Structure 1
Amino acid sequence: MSAVIPEGWLEQPIGNIADVVAGGTPKAGDPNNFAMSGTAIAWLTPADLSKYNSKSISHGARDLSQEGYDSSSAKLMPKGALLFSSRAPIGYVVIAENPICTNQGFKNFVFTEQVDSTYAFYYLKSIRDLAESLGSGTTFKELSGATAKTIPFRLAPLAEQKVIADKLDELLAQVESTKARLDAIPAILKSFRQSVLAAAVSGKLTEEWRDGKKLNPENDLKCELSLNEGKKRKIEATSSHELVSDNFSTSWPISKFDELYRFIDYRGKTPKKSEYGKRLYTAKNIKMGYLSNEPVEYLSEEDYKSWMTRGFSKMNDIFFVTEGHTMGCVAINTIGSDIALAQRTLTLQPYGNVRTKFHYYFMLTNSFQKLVDLNATGTAAKGIKASKFRGLPLPFPAYEEQTEIVRRVEELFAFADKIEAQVNAAQERVNNLTQSILAKAFKGELTADWRAANPDLISGENSAEALLERIKAERETLATKKKPAKKASIRKKA
């Protein structure tokens, strides 16, 4: 670490200030070695600290039984000990709320009462990157006991430690509160987008705009079907139409997919992928609301010609996933016709005066997605048959109104996207703010005014030098005392 610290502070290897205590694990295959959390000897693993945000901890997911404790190298540490993960990953840190032991994935620090536990907690959080850089290993990095003892520790006078700990508690609580508010915004924006879509496909978004206009959707409904479509399409009865159709504007006709769109799908097994040729888009590329470039796959020119016999997609067609765990994902074709499509994908190509983006937005609504799910079959991999899909209802306002709805939705979505970008930037700043505050704290910047106002609390007997001597004396005294047997110490706890 940088040597820039306030005058009167000391920087020492942590092994000069605290006992470094490793952990242990009894035989995992013997259930008698373990007990329910909170019923026996508290024991912690790094997994217990994954996504754990509190400053202190009392127990992990399970305890050690007396038998398990006695048969392992785990050591019980006192309340206030700093538990520091030394592998998978390096740098989780928490304060022991009560006597506790850990597995071998920790190098723990037991300080004397001359070091404030909260101060040490925040200090160890501030040097996580340094600790990770000191780790070694190939499969995963690990911090050895010998190396852990060399970690530099910044020792401030005890009174200043407590001031720093209190200031960090206050400041970082504000940061967490801000972060929580920012983290809630994406869900609010998602709800906002769904509200916009619901208003769009129900006619409420253009209710005032529509008032007084002479619109005749029936004229646009007269779509000319291609001769290849014929009139023998099988359309099965669908269920739960009311989920969507009850919400359509009463001024709009209700159509169905079969009347407005040509269906292009590909059946059978997709030909073997090639290293080059025509770009292949599969169900994996069709996400909810966009086309993904991953994975990148190709069909050879020869296979492309033999496979793409049912038709080619065009710009602004709708892509839809018909089965599997991504069933219902829908996206607009923004790449053109020079592509190949795989099975489990459906291309909807409009007849006549249809704004595909309007129906694309309809297909993104929660109510339509639920309708698809209710009309799907299967268990492990649900799917909706084309014959069912053809009969699903569609709102059909006049083309002019479709265009206006799309314009308004895109305007509102652009507004939401702008807010989302601002939130993402703010989240990044807030995520960096914690480390910035910690860095300032351990350079003495948060307590500069306090030091100037309280010179007697950082000098003489209250200085860091005097504090270090007391720590050494206390540790020497403890080291000369006879240590009780491991088992007896646990029984005393019980």
Structure 2
Amino acid sequence: MLRIRATHKIYSKKHQYSNEYEIPVLTAGKSFLLGYTNDTENIFTQTPVIIFDDFTTDSKFVDFHFKVKSSAMKILHATKIANIKFVFYFMQTIQYRSDTHKRYWISEYAKLPIPLPPIEVQKAIVEKLENAFAHIDEAVRHLKAVQTNIPRLKSSLLHCAFSGKLTESQNQSHEVQTLKSVVGVEGEFERKEGDTSPFKPPHPLIKTEIPQGWEIKTLGEVCEILDNMRKPINADERGQRLKKAENRYPYYGATGQVGYIDDYLCDFEAILLGEDGAPFLEFMKNKAYIVSGKYWVNNHAHILKTKENIANNKFICHFLNILDYTPYVSGTTRLKLNQSSMKQIKIPLPPLETQNQIVQILESKFAHLEKLAQFVNASLENLQRLKSSLLNQAFKGELIC
């Protein structure tokens, strides 16, 4: 049903790839496209084919000219009795454990039976599958666009919050757009008509005007720095201590919980801000987070607690997650935010009552976005299951009468 073509004659000997070149170099593994080459010798043109990774059993359908970069690749042609797409779709239903390092095609895969209807029925099944998959892929594309924009929406909400626009009355000149109007827009949540400029984080020096009644304060002015309460314990020691422990407490690091420990050093709500190992220059990722209850912190995160009647922990935490840290961090391969630089971070600070209002609005909107994210993730999983279900129906003879 399938014929194998040797790959040594179309093997690409060049290791440099460029998007300026035109000839794709393929591997049958998950990466599939390695890049583009200008090596024009012995390009494979007898497509369509299936390329099969002899070690991982990954397979891809290819209907364009190419060269290969893997000696483990098998190039499979269909014989006259088989439709190449029908065989490819059947191969996607095979679940094979390929955790042993060996070649699978000749030893096992080629011997698997396949339910093969007449060639015209194969074509009809392929057509029905591809029509259904086209609709599924379109739905997936839209869902992934929403998925991509959720972090941007959060960032844009924060931008509105710290410019004072989130709490302005509705009769002000600006408008905050709905989710539907924002999906697909490059990172904007609040936009004036005709404005297409990309969203940018607040400048670290807060050069823009602040609303009336707000002040510019440094982090050192509004927070207690409790780094003296940190203590690093390595994973082996924590593991040994937990074997005898009656209780387990969260053990936190630069970007979140990294394990458990048998004791605690803190028992209050605090902001943990990465000292090193945090994604300081990755705008869409968090650098600070709130912790509460009983916990332990290692030396990779600063411990901050807002001063009473001055600031709200969550308000400060939200600001720290939208700040541009470029002027404050040092280092090359592993950026570090030392305590001295951290204290100098400037924050636009409204009255405490306004901070509380902003936090309430943000948390309400973030809750809606979290529900949206859960819906998108569940929908993507359901669509993948639908594809699998359609394939199973196809090869049980249930897809067409």
TM-score bracket for the superposition, by shorter chain length: 0.7 to 0.9
Q: Once superposed, what is the RMSD of the aligned Cα atoms?
A: 3.9
Q: Which runs of 5+ in 2 are unaligned?
A: 173-201, 243-247, 281-285
Measure, in 2, the Cα distance between the counterparts of 1:36 and 1:349: 52
The aligned residue for residue 110 of structure 1 is 77
Q: Does 1:50 align with 2:18?
A: no
Change (3 A) 1:361 1:116: same
The aligned residue for residue 417 of structure 1 is 370
SS of the equivalent of 2:80 reads coil
Query: How far does residue 379 in structure 1 lie from its aligned partner after superposition?
Result: 2.0
Measure, in 1, the Cα distance between the counterparts of 2:25 and 2:352: 67
AA aligned to 2:31 is S
Measure, in 1, the Cα distance between the counterparts of 2:269 and 2:224: 13
Looking at secondary structure, tell me which structure has more helix per residue: 1
The aligned residue for residue 357 of structure 2 is 404
Q: Does 1:128 align with 2:94?
A: yes
Q: 2:221 aligns with which of 230, 235, 259?
A: 259
The aligned residue for residue 295 of structure 1 is 259
Question: TM-score, normalized by length of structure 1?
Answer: 0.61
- The 5 Å alignment of 1:11-26 reads 17-19=1-3, 21=4, 23=6
SS of the equivalent of 2:304 reads strand
Q: 2:54 aligns with which of 63, 73, 86?
A: 86
The aligned residue for residue 306 of structure 2 is 350
Query: How far does residue 413 in structure 1 lie from its aligned partner after superposition?
Result: 0.7
1:440-492 alpha-carbon deviations (Å, 9 max, x no partner): 222233321xxxxxxxxxxxxxxxxxxxxxxxxxxxxxxxxxxxxxxxxxxxx
Moved more, 319-328 or 389-398: 319-328
AA aligned to 1:345 is A
Measure, in 2, the Cα distance between the counterparts of 1:387 and 1:424: 41
Change (3 A) 1:100 1:78: farther
SS of the equivalent of 1:155 reads coil
Identical-pair percentage: 21
Measure, in 1, the Cα distance between the counterparts of 2:395 and 2:37: 33
The aligned residue for residue 186 of structure 2 is none
Measure, in 1, the Cα distance between the counterparts of 2:278 and 2:313: 25
The aligned residue for residue 486 of structure 1 is none
Measure, in 2, the Cα distance between the counterparts of 1:209 and 1:403: 19
The aligned residue for residue 488 of structure 1 is none
The aligned residue for residue 472 of structure 1 is none
Instruction: Judge conservation of contact 1:91–1:128 (CA < 8 Å) in 2.
Output: no
Measure, in 1, the Cα distance between the counterparts of 2:224 and 2:72: 60
Q: 2:291 aligns with which of 333, 336, 340?
A: 333
The aligned residue for residue 435 of structure 1 is 388
Measure, in 2, the Cα distance between the counterparts of 1:426 and 1:161: 30
Q: 1:160 aligns with which of 116, 121, 127?
A: 121
SS of the equivalent of 2:315 reads helix
Instruction: Judge conservation of contact 1:317–1:349 (CA < 8 Å) in 2.
Output: yes
Measure, in 1, the Cα distance between the counterparts of 2:25 and 2:153: 45
Measure, in 1, the Cα distance between the counterparts of 2:76 and 2:316: 62
SS of the equivalent of 2:122 reads helix
Instruction: Judge conservation of contact 2:254–2:276 (CA < 8 Å) in 1.
Output: no
Query: How far does residue 417 in structure 1 lie from its aligned partner after superposition?
Result: 0.7
1:81-117 alpha-carbon deviations (Å, 9 max, x no partner): 4332232x21313245459778553455433234222
SS of the equivalent of 1:417 reads helix
Change (3 A) 1:362 1:95: closer
Measure, in 2, the Cα distance between the counterparts of 1:51 and 1:205: 45
Q: Which runs of 5+ in 1 are unaligned?
A: 1-16, 70-75, 212-239, 305-311, 449-494
Q: 2:336 aligns with which of 374, 383, 387?
A: 383
Q: 1:170 aligns with which of 109, 112, 131?
A: 131
The aligned residue for residue 203 of structure 1 is 164
Question: TM-score, normalized by length of structure 2?
Answer: 0.74
Q: Does 1:187 align with 2:148?
A: yes
Instruction: Judge conservation of contact 1:43–1:103 (CA < 8 Å) in 2.
Output: no
Measure, in 1, the Cα distance between the counterparts of 2:266 and 2:207: 28
Instruction: Judge conservation of contact 2:7–2:75 (CA < 8 Å) in 1.
Output: no
Change (3 A) 1:118 1:264: same
AA aligned to 1:295 is G
Q: Does 1:374 align with 2:327?
A: yes
The alignment covers a number of residue pairs equal to 354
Change (3 A) 1:201 1:112: same
Change (3 A) 1:208 1:180: same
Change (3 A) 1:386 1:24: same
Change (3 A) 1:415 1:280: closer
Q: Does 1:426 align with 2:379?
A: yes
Measure, in 2, the Cα distance between the counterparts of 1:168 and 1:325: 45
Measure, in 2, the Cα distance between the counterparts of 1:244 and 1:161: 65
AA aligned to 2:90 is Y
Change (3 A) 1:160 1:317: same
1:180-208 alpha-carbon deviations (Å, 9 max, x no partner): 11112122111111122112222211122
1:406-434 alpha-carbon deviations (Å, 9 max, x no partner): 11111101111111111111011011121
Change (3 A) 1:279 1:241: same
Change (3 A) 1:329 1:446: same
Is the radius of gyration larger for structure 1 or structure 2?
1
The aligned residue for residue 148 of structure 1 is 109
1:274-323 alpha-carbon deviations (Å, 9 max, x no partner): 422795845xx342xxx32x23456xx8xx9xxxxxxx645221111123
SS of the equivalent of 1:376 reads coil
Measure, in 1, the Cα distance between the counterparts of 2:290 and 2:380: 30
Larger relative contact order, structure 1 or 2 (CA cutoff 8 Å, min sep 6): 1
Q: Does 1:447 align with 2:400?
A: yes
Change (3 A) 1:61 1:335: farther
The aligned residue for residue 193 of structure 2 is none
Measure, in 2, the Cα distance between the counterparts of 1:255 and 1:101: 59
Change (3 A) 1:145 1:166: same
Instruction: Judge conservation of contact 2:27–2:68 (CA < 8 Å) in 1.
Output: no
Measure, in 1, the Cα distance between the counterparts of 2:288 and 2:313: 12
